[in-house]
């Protein structure tokens, strides 16, 4: 396969394509003929499967107490127990970030038949705190999101958020896929030119289409604005490029 028309322009294209606006996705490729010149327009595709290399999990816990100071002391005991639990599971101190404590005053409200507030009776204070855990060990993040509820056995009222997964080498992967999409589009253009008894000319214009990250085999719908999946550990990234070639 001959890529002589695209290789001289690939380095310039990768820089150029990062700043060009998104183009519409399409499977069409055609030759546009007019009095000045002939053009071939194609859409190339690049895709890659990968495993996330950064995981984030959040746990939220709370206490209720009629005495604010006692409630704060109890919440601090929960924080110490949670820290010990997470370190025993394999995390490090630097992986943990605790939020500030939020406090809410709870009342029992009494209303009349028309819904007007008649009276409020103080019940207690609710104190809530969250712990964010971030680690490159995504399997451990997945495990702790399931096992955090073991803390309930220690009297800790904790809620486990669904973990989020990211990929820290996404910029490099994106450049690689853009190159693949460009080669894919060039191959299509060469075939079109050959079928029309022409030879492919120089690359005249290039635009990046929609960049997508979806779950592998997840059946997610693609979006014109781009989809960025954070819930799946294993993902598929894809990008399209719109290329315009001259015809010799």
pLDDT, tens digit (0-9, with 9 covering 90-100), for 61-111: 999 999 999 999 999 999 999 999 999 999 999 999 999 999 999 999 998
CA gap 162, 53 in Å, rounded: 17
CA gap 169, 191 in Å, rounded: 34
| Predicted model pTM | 0.78
Could you write out the three-class secondary structure of the chain?
Answer: CCCCCCHHHHHHHHHHHCCCCCCCCCCCCEEEECCCCEEEEEEEEEEEEEECCEEEEEEEEEEEECCHHHHHHHHHHHHHHHHHHHHHHCCCHHHEEECCCEEEEEEEEEECCCCCEEEEEEEEEEEEEEEEEEECCHHHHHHHHHHHHHHHHHCCEEEECCCEEECCCHHHHHHHHHHHHHHHHHHHHHHHHHHCCCCEEEEEEEEEEEEEEEECCCCCCCCCCCCECCCCCEEEEEEEEEEEEEEC
Count CB atoms within 10 A of the CB of residue 88.
8
Count CB atoms within 10 A of the CB of residue 151.
19
Report yes or no: 55 and 164 within 8 Å, Cβ to Cβ. yes
Report yes or no: 35 and 26 within 8 Å, Cβ to Cβ. no
Q: What is the pLDDT of residue 225?
A: 60
CA gap 221, 153 in Å, rounded: 40
Query: Pick from 89, 12, 13, 40: which is nearest to 188 by CA?
Result: 40
pLDDT tens digit sequence for 55-73: 999 999 999 999 999 999 9
pLDDT tens digit sequence for 26-64: 334 444 544 345 899 999 999 999 999 999 999 999 999
pLDDT tens digit sequence for 132-187: 999 999 999 999 999 999 999 999 999 999 999 999 999 999 999 999 999 999 99
pLDDT at 3 over 80: no
Report yes or no: 64 and 70 within 8 Å, Cβ to Cβ. no
CA gap 238, 240 in Å, rounded: 7
Question: What are the residues whose beta carbons fall under 8 Å from the beta carbon of 175, sequence distance 6 or more?
Answer: 14
For residue 106, what are its two tokens?
């709870």
């Amino acid at each position: 396969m001959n890529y002589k028309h695209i290789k001289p322009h690939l380095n310039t294209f990768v820089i150029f394509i990062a700043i060009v606006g998104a183009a519409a996705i399409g499977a069409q490729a055609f030759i546009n003929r007019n009095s000045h010149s002939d053009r071939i327009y194609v859409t190339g595709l690049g895709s890659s499967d990968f495993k996330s290399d950064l995981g984030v999990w959040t746990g939220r816990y709370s206490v209720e107490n009629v005495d604010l100071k006692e409630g704060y002391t109890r919440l601090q005991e929960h924080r110490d127990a949670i820290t010990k639990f997470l370190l025993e599971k394999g995390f490090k101190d630097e992986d943990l970030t605790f939020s500030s404590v939020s406090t809410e005053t709870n009342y029992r409200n009494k209303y009349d038949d028309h819904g007007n507030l008649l009276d409020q009776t103080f019940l207690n204070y609710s104190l809530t705190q969250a712990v964010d855990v971030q680690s490159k060990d995504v399997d451990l993040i997945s495990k702790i999101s399931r096992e955090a509820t073991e803390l309930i056995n220690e009297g800790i009222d904790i809620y486990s958020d669904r973990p989020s997964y990211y990929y820290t080498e996404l910029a490099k992967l994106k450049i690689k896929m853009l190159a693949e999409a460009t080669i894919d589009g060039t191959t299509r253009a060469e075939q079109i030119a050959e079928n029309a008894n022409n030879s492919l000319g120089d690359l005249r214009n290039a635009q990046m289409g929609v960049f997508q990250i979806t779950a592998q085999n997840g059946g997610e719908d693609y979006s014109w604005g781009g989809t960025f999946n954070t819930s799946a550990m294993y993902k598929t990234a894809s990008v399209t490029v719109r290329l315009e070639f001259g015809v010799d």
